[in-house]
């Protein structure tokens, strides 16, 4: 069994600014487990534990959908939180740009993967990059206030040319992501 997910990785050029946003939010002293900047990605589908025999069929289904999808541009937008800014549990930055192309691609992926037994998400697709997860109420109010007033950098758009099937290995030091398959768009 392997723990796996399908995601859009980020270009190295946007990672330093994501790190600066995290550093600014860390000043809240909230009890947050921050995602290492190198691990931040746009998740399209989290599979959880998969039998190794399912990796190839999933890859082929994703390749078929990706082959029909032209590359598109995305852009990082403002910060937010789930379930709300007043009650942050997951701290994120949003995704803008060609979000209609992204949403249509996501729906086609969900349909193809559902045919293999991986049911669609039960909630609407809200593209975002997770920066951290709040572990306790400590400092949550300060974090919420900082999120509301946070000035995020003006990121340039980036081209999405591929998606990646990642293996996720959990350890006490955190998650390590290893690409299993790189799937090209178009």
By annotation, the residues acting in catalysis are 41, 128
Return the closest-CA partner of residue 162 out of 59, 19, 17: 59
CA dihedral for 132, 176, 9, 167, sign (positive or negative): negative
User: Which residues have C-beta within 8 Å of that of residue 119, sequence separation ≥ 6?
Assistant: none
- Tokens standing for residue 118: 């991986």
User: Which residues have C-beta within 8 Å of that of residue 134, sequence separation ≥ 6?
Assistant: 30, 31, 32, 88, 89, 90, 91, 140, 143
């Amino acid at each position: 069994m392997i723990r796996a997910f399908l995601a859009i990785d980020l270009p190295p050029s946007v990672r330093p600014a994501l790190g600066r946003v995290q550093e600014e939010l860390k000043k809240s002293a909230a009890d947050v487990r921050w995602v290492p900047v190198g691990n931040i990605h746009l998740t399209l589908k989290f599979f959880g534990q998969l039998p190794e025999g399912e990796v190839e069929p999933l890859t082929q289904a994703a390749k078929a959908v990706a082959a029909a999808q032209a590359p598109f541009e995305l852009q990082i937008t403002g910060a937010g939180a789930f379930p709300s800014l007043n009650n942050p549990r997951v701290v994120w930055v949003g995704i803008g740009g060609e979000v209609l192309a992204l949403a249509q691609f996501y729906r086609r992926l969900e349909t193809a993967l559902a045919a293999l037994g991986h049911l669609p998400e039960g909630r609407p697709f809200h593209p975002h990059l997770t920066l951290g997860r709040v572990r306790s109420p400590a400092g949550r109010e300060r974090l919420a206030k900082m999120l509301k007033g946070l000035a995020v950098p003006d990121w340039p758009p980036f081209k999405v040319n591929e998606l990646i099937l990642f293996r996720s290995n959990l350890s006490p030091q955190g998650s390590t992501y290893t690409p299993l398959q790189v799937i090209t768009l178009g």
